[in-house]
Chain A
Amino acid sequence: MLDDPLSLTFAALADPTRRALLALLSQGEATVNELAAPFDMRLPSISKHLKVLERAGLVEQSRHSQWRPRRLQAAPLAQAAGWLEHYRPFWEDSFDRMANYLDELNVTEKEKSHGRKA
């Protein structure tokens, strides 16, 4: 189950360095050297993070050479976001029902405190 695409995406996104790398790549293609520049980190560490992102399909290396720039792949992210969106109707309905229930509770409370007056 750890190899399913969604789990790989979530796992890849769990690390702050990798999120920062994705944010950099969202501005356009970049080489490993360019990506490493803002970080206080050695190139091999950056490469390791990029490998995790590549395995999750979030980053693509154009051709297999080191100086080729990396490119962001949005499809797995869209899938992760789309999957989460499935929850929205559940909560939208629940919140509607909660609002009704709270109204009911509120009326009961008010009747309790003012009931004697009538």
Chain B
Amino acid sequence: MVAKPDLQSSGQSVVIERVVKVPRALAFEVWTSPRHLARWWGPRDEQGRDFSMASCEMDFRPGGSWRICIRSPGGDDYWQGGQYREITPPDRLVFTFAWERAEEDFPLTLVEVDFLQEGPDATRVRFRQSGLPPSERDGHAIGWAECLDRLAEFLVADQAPEARS
């Protein structure tokens, strides 16, 4: 997979940063209700067609659950869900995220979104998704990714010896 220039990854988490041309309050608001999420949440298929949102339930408060079903243009449904951990408008949003599938149990992940002021009418959205161990499924979570920078460097070096020489 080729990394785009605006992306960085520690190797242990997915990090995405985007600057959007709206104030922080609005950048935060589109994460807070099904009406907004239905307009942007979800991927596109190979032909660039948006997935739709077949179902969205969210109890938007710390400790509240969320559950979403996205539907591919071909009609396949994919369920996902989690729990809100931290809601601090317009600064920060933290929630857990896992795919639901009958045949295999997907590990739980932690999504942290920070909204940073970027000039008068723009916001830098800093997104990070990292893995959570099974023991954290109901508890309080701290992403383990932060402490692994040196390890990640080692990992990258180990994975791509041909790229270095």
Chain A residues with CB under 8 Å of chain B are 1-2, 4, 6-7, 10-11, 13-14, 16, 19-20, 22-23, 26, 72, 74, 77-78, 80-81, 83-85, 87-103, 105-106, 109
Q: How far in angstroms is the closest Cβ of chain B from A97?
A: 4
Q: Which residues of B in the span 1-27 have a Cβ within 8 Å of any Cβ on A? A: 1, 4, 7, 9, 11-14, 16, 18, 20-22, 26-27
Q: A11-B134, A11-B135, A84-B12 are in contact. Are A89 and B43 (CB under 8 A)?
A: yes
The A interface, classified by DSSP as helix, strand, loop or mixed, is helix
Count class of interface residues, chain B: 35 or more
Which residue of the partner chain, among A1, A16, A106, contacts B134 with CB atoms under 8 Å?
A: A1
One of A74, A80, A99, A100 near B131 (C-beta < 8 A): A80
Cβ contact within 8 Å between B30 and A94: no
Which residues of B, 51-84, contact A by the 8 Å Cβ criterion? none
Q: What's the least CB distance linking A50 to chain B, in Å?
A: 16
Q: Are A87 and B42 in contact (CB under 8 A)?
A: no
A-B contact count (CB 8 A): 134
Q: In the complex, which of the residues B105, B127, B154 contacts A95, with contact meaning CB atoms closer than 8 Å?
A: B127
B contact residues around A93 at 8 Å (CB):
42-44
- Whether B138 is near chain A, meaning CB under 8 Å from some CB there, is no
Interface residues, chain B, with chain A CB atoms under 8 Å away:
1, 4, 7, 9, 11-14, 16, 18, 20-22, 26-27, 30, 36, 39-44, 50, 105, 107, 109, 125, 127, 129-136, 144, 147-148, 150-155, 158-159
Residue of A nearest to B146 (CB): A19
Are A7's CB and B133's CB within 8 A? yes
Min CB gap A2→B, angstroms: 6
Hey, which chain B residues are within 8 Å of A16, CB to CB? 147
B40/A94 in contact, CB under 8 A: yes
Q: How far, in Å, is A11 (CB) from chain B's closest CB?
A: 4
Tell me which of B12, B14, B125, B136 contacts A14 (CB under 8 A): B136
A88-B154 contact, Cβ under 8 Å, with A7-B134, A19-B144: no
CA distance A34 to B36 in the complex (A): 54
Q: Which A residues are CB-close (under 8 A) to B36?
A: 101
**Nearest Cβ on chain A to B97's Cβ, whole angstroms:** 8
Please list 6 pairs of residues, one from A and one from B, whose beta carbons are closer than 8 Å in the complex, sorted by A's number.
A13-B133, A14-B135, A74-B158, A80-B12, A98-B30, A102-B30
